[in-house]
Structure 1
Amino acid sequence: MFFASDNWAGAHSKIAERLLAESGGFASAYGTSDLDQKVEAKFSEIFERDVAVFFVATGTAANSLSLASVQKPGGISFCHTEAHVAEDECGAPDFFSGARLATVDGALGKIDPKALATKVARFPQDAVHHGRAAAITITQATEIGTVYSLSEIDAIASIAKENSLPLHMDGARFANALIALGASPAEMTWKRGVDILSFGGTKNGCWCAEAIVFFDPSKAREMHFIRKRAAQLFSKSRFIAAQFDGYFQDGLWLDLARHSNSMADRLRAGIENAPNAHLAWPTVSNEVFAIIPKSSAKAAEDKGAKFYEWPIPESQPELVGSNDTLIRLVTSFATTEADVANFLACLG
């Protein structure tokens, strides 16, 4: 019963097999191999347009270098208060870009467009002392398991366009969001006005495969140098390409996300029907947040369940009673129906 994080799951066998198949022989380095070029072309096919793709090792690298590529002196990037770039990346986006983050509130983990417009207006382009607006970043799926609808992305993109700001999407759980929305990759990104995407594979069955995707290749020229300077240019980059090659084969990446989302659906349904537990808020991706008795949490842990106790939101101090606890449960491609059933049994 491993629900602590989808990062805890291993690699899918088909991706491991593809990586092993590539392990022999010789191929040109630094992203110039035939396999690298094949996978880059596959990204263009998936997104229905020519894109520029840059492989990196981690989601933090993808986010930080994406924002670095569009920064300017005194630049401000706007993100949600609970965004991964603000809460969980140890200042890496600020470090690599030389800029800083400004957080924006919004319900259910999503930036409120009105609050964003107000915040952006505080940093006009001639605000020498305070800094100037430089970029907007949204997380899809969000840190609390929710997903921006297409119209909600449109609203954020409209503000970005009005202020001539690039829009970045942190897609660490991109496939999960895609399945939840029932949209195509193009519909959820550049057709909505997204300029740069951090495309995650690690949380969905890869070993360590992340990519930065520019939907206008002409704006990606500096990324070659930014990635090299940040020590993210792999000599044997074909091994990241091999992971993505297996990941995309026959739609595996979507099947894996569909499975993890369906396991989360089972958890959600079971928790809703439990007599002494309930969902903290509605989610649709592979993250579930539940309020359960501390005794049930202890019983589950004693039986081998792994999950995180989640901090109570500052805006909702009354959310959790004194005898209860707020937990996060994350499903993955490796989660089984038995895992879900055994956990729900701990709730009675």
Structure 2
Amino acid sequence: MFFASDNAGPAHPKVIEAVMRANDGYAMPYGAEDAMARVRGKLRDLLGMPNAAIYLVATGTATNALMLATMCKPFQTIFCSEVAHIEEDECGAPEFFTSGAKLTLVDAPQAKMTAEHLREAIDSTADGVVHGVQRGPVSITTVTERGTVYTLDEQKALVNVAREYGLPVHLDGARFANAVASLGCTAADMAQGFDAISFGATKNGCMGVEAAVFADPAHAWEFELRRKRGGHLFSKHRFLSAQMEAYLDGDLWLEMAQSANAACARLVAGLRNIKTVTLANDSEANMIYLTFPRAAHRRLKDAGAQFYSMGTMDGPDDEPVLARIVCDWSATAENADRFLRILEG
């Protein structure tokens, strides 16, 4: 019953096998291996971006921060949700790699920015005035940090607002696959309109690889320099390419995301029938925020369940305590059902 994080799940056997095959013999370093050329072609086709510049980085934080640094000057601001991953979970990396660009936080009902709130945030900046930060890129996180997913229309509305102001748009897609699986759309549909995309794989069954995708190849050289200067250019790059190639082959990326989302949906359906449980918001992919009594938190953990309790275990048994549950590709129906039985008591 491991529902603490999709980061904690195992790598898929096909990914491990691909890494082992890549270890046979010699290959050119730093992304010059044949596999990287194949990965680049596959991602261009998948995302519907025939001219995209595509690079691999080992972590999501580095991918987001290096991409935003390429798109944003130090005296500009990045517009993002008040609960965006770049705000909550990256330890100031975007500010560090951009040499000090500010994050402007946008109101986000259900953890999603709206076009109206984004416009208000952009209008509130003192663009053109030397005393204030200037307008920079818009960054969208989906799946959001609360488990909700932007619809394609919601994404399009945000992109359109950014375009009105001449601002580039970045997609933080650490859970890109889960969002595609949730919406039932294509990867190209999801990518539509974005200038830069972080195409995540680590959370969804890889060992450690993310793709940085720029629609405009004019960004390529600066990103390459920033990746090298930031210490994120792998010498034995073939092991990144091997993971990503296996991830893309036969739509393994989508199969794993669908599995994770299905386990989460099974949990949500069961949770709705437990009177002591309150879902904090919509759960549309592979993450759930919910409250239930402290006694049930203790009972689950005593039984070996792994999940995040967002509060102390000291206090009244019947007091509701917030929890976060995340399903990865390997989550089983059996473990979901067992979790529900123990929770219900």
TM-score normalised by length of structure 2: 0.95
- Give a deviation string over 1:235-258, Cα, whole Å, max 9, x none: 111100000111111111100000
Helix, strand or coil: the match of 2:128?
coil
- Report the counterpart of residue 29 of structure 1 in structure 2: 29
**Shift, 1:185, TM fit:** 1.1
- Report the counterpart of residue 79 of structure 2 in structure 1: 78
Identical amino acids, percent of aligned pairs: 40
Helix, strand or coil: the match of 1:29?
coil
CA separation in 2, counterparts of 1:247 and 1:207?
Answer: 11
Matched, 1:165 2:161: no
- Within 5 Å, give how 1:88-103 maps onto structure 2: 88-98=89-99, 99-103=101-105
- Report the counterpart of residue 315 of structure 1 in structure 2: none
- Report the counterpart of residue 20 of structure 1 in structure 2: 20
- Within 5 Å, give how 1:175-186 maps onto structure 2: 175-186=177-188
- Report the counterpart of residue 342 of structure 1 in structure 2: 338
Helix, strand or coil: the match of 1:85?
helix
CA separation in 2, counterparts of 1:322 and 1:79?
Answer: 37
CA separation in 2, counterparts of 1:217 and 1:180?
Answer: 30
- Within 5 Å, give how 1:56-75 maps onto structure 2: 56-75=57-76
- Within 5 Å, give how 1:311-330 maps onto structure 2: 323-330=319-326
- Give a deviation string over 1:289-347, Cα, whole Å, max 9, x none: 121111111100000001112379xxxxxxxx971111110001111111101100112
**Shift, 1:230, TM fit:** 0.7
CA separation in 2, counterparts of 1:174 and 1:4?
Answer: 19
| 2:174 and 2:201 in contact (8 A); partners too | yes
| 1:145 and 1:288 in contact (8 A); partners too | yes
**Shift, 1:125, TM fit:** 3.5
Q: Which runs of 5+ in 1 are unaligned?
A: 313-320
| 2:85 and 2:145 in contact (8 A); partners too | yes
**Shift, 1:218, TM fit:** 2.5
Q: 2:327 aligns with which of 326, 331, 341?
A: 331
| 2:114 and 2:154 in contact (8 A); partners too | no
- Report the counterpart of residue 56 of structure 2 in structure 1: 55
- Report the counterpart of residue 128 of structure 1 in structure 2: 130
Counterpart amino acid of 2:129?
A
CA separation in 2, counterparts of 1:150 and 1:73?
Answer: 31
Counterpart amino acid of 1:4?
A
CA shift in 2, pair 1:322/1:112, >3 Å: farther
- Within 5 Å, give how 1:1-348 maps onto structure 2: 1-50=1-50, 51-98=52-99, 99-189=101-191, 191=192, 193-310=193-310, 323-348=319-344
CA separation in 2, counterparts of 1:122 and 1:289?
Answer: 32
Kindly tell me the number of residue pairs found equivalent between the two proteins: 338
Counterpart amino acid of 1:248?
L
Helix, strand or coil: the match of 2:27?
coil
CA separation in 2, counterparts of 1:115 and 1:340?
Answer: 37
Counterpart amino acid of 1:268?
V
| 1:5 and 1:329 in contact (8 A); partners too | yes
Q: Which runs of 5+ in 2 are unaligned?
A: none
- Give a deviation string over 1:139-184, Cα, whole Å, max 9, x none: 0110000000111111110111011111001000000000001111
**Shift, 1:124, TM fit:** 4.4
Counterpart amino acid of 1:109?
A
CA shift in 2, pair 1:95/1:154, >3 Å: same
